Amino acid sequence: MTQAQTITVRILDKDYHIACPAEHNDNLQRAANYLDQKMREIRRNGKVVGTERIAVMAALNITYELHNIQQAASMDSNSAEQISQLLAQVQNTLAADE
């Protein structure tokens, strides 16, 4: 594992210095850019005032998105497992008929 180095990310016009392993720098920068985008959308809508509240709403929205993606992936995994079980049953039935 690479030693952590400090990188600077900019979120809502404020710089944050974060220690991060070099191999994760690009992912961290993309995450910071995504967070900045979400926070700017919330601020632009004008219904939430204050950086802390904007950050909490952005975190809640991003967590909601992640939860939905995880649920969909879980459903896909369950479907694949069911298909595998059905395929095994078909193969067993065909083998028994031989």
Contact (Cβ atoms closer than 8 angstroms) between residue 36 and residue 12 = yes
CA 13/CA 98 separation, integer angstroms: 72
| Tens digits of pLDDT across the chain (98 residues) | 568 899 999 999 999 999 999 999 999 999 999 999 999 999 999 888 899 999 999 999 999 999 989 888 777 777 777 777 878 777 777 777 76
pTM here is 0.71
Q: Point out which residues pair with 10 in neighbouring strands.
A: 15
Buried b (16+ CB within 10 A) or exposed e, 50-66: eeeebbebbeeeeeeee
Domain count, the chain: 1
- The residue segments making up the domain with residue 20 are 4-97
CATH code assigned at 36: 3.30.160.880
